[in-house]
Amino acid sequence: MSRARIREAYEYACEQEINALKPGNVHRFADGHGMEVAHFLTSAAVSSGPLTDPTLSLGKRILGAVLATHAAVGMNTNLGIVLLGAPIAAAAESGPAHLRANIGKILDSITMDDTADIFEAIATANPGGLGDGGENDVREPPKITLTEAMREAASRDRIAYQYTTGYQDIFELGIPALKASSDEGMSPAINAYLAFLASFPDSHVARKQGLQVAKAVQHEAQEIQSSLRATSQKNLQHDLLLAFDTSLKSRDINPGTSADLTVASLFVQRLTERLA
């Protein structure tokens, strides 16, 4: 697949995610956490170049995308999106079939040079708590490959979990949720987002507020899912989502990992549509 089509799919996924009323996140209906919609749209536009550059290694794609984002908006808006998106973009170049298998091959081929670049990207983005301290501090030269580091973090970080499972949550939870959205009466992005948020504690919330808070938010998401499924009235669904959004933001809770997984799912779906 051409770089232009992969780039379009990535930017499309980012835009669809920001257009969806995802409780706790920044979206078209409400800003939050000191960030605005424009920050995310700009981040998508400037990161798409390095992320889809076929001449760059995986590590250079991720580092380039993070540096471009930092230069443009001066904050971490998309580290998780870039970490998930770069292997997808690289895998899509290999041909129209077996995207999941190709992602696995990309992940299996990560080198120490890639690891050093990705550690630098994470340190640059500085996402509160991720990789700080400990044996594998991202501010130090890597002692192990990224794959090994992700394996160590997988039990507490859902993005790391994708690197160790070949994007299991994307293909087995996110994509089915996107496809089931019409049956659920929800927009695809919202349906996928709530599927992630209700299925496991959000890693970003757990890092910032602790695992118990993340588990409580997971339970709240399950209740919202049930309420949304109980009505087909769009205005009532909107009000339920907006009330949950307001509640989360009043507690400074931002389920960022669920949003990142949603973007990755939308990216894969868009590519799959284009590959079909």
Cβ–Cβ under 8 Å, residues 150 and 96: no
Residues 226, 222: Cα–Cα separation, whole Å:
6
- How far separated are the first and last CA of the chain, in Å rounded? 11
* pLDDT confidence of residue 160: 96
* pLDDT confidence of residue 67: 97
Kindly report the pTM of this predicted structure: 0.94
Q: What are phi and psi of 27, to 5 degrees?
A: -160, 180
Cβ–Cβ under 8 Å, residues 205 and 254: yes
Residues 21, 246: Cα–Cα separation, whole Å:
11
Cβ–Cβ under 8 Å, residues 27 and 187: no
Cβ–Cβ under 8 Å, residues 121 and 79: yes
* pLDDT confidence of residue 181: 82
Q: What are phi and psi of 231, to 5 degrees?
A: -140, 145
* pLDDT confidence of residue 131: 47
* pLDDT confidence of residue 254: 94
Residues 38, 194: Cα–Cα separation, whole Å:
23
Q: What angle do CA 165, 168, 170 make, to 5 degrees?
A: 135
- Strand extents, DSSP E, 188-242: none
The number of angstroms, rounded, from the C-alpha of 73 to the middle of its chain's C-alpha atoms is 18
The total of other beta-carbon atoms located within 10 Å of residue 55's CB is: 7
Residues 93, 231: Cα–Cα separation, whole Å:
42
Average pLDDT by stretches of 10, the chain with 276 residues: 95 95 88 76 97 98 97 92 98 86 96 96 76 62 90 94 97 96 80 98 95 98 95 91 95 96 97 74
Residues 224, 190: Cα–Cα separation, whole Å:
12
Residues 219, 211: Cα–Cα separation, whole Å:
12
| Domains, the chain | 3-180+262-275 (1.10.4200)
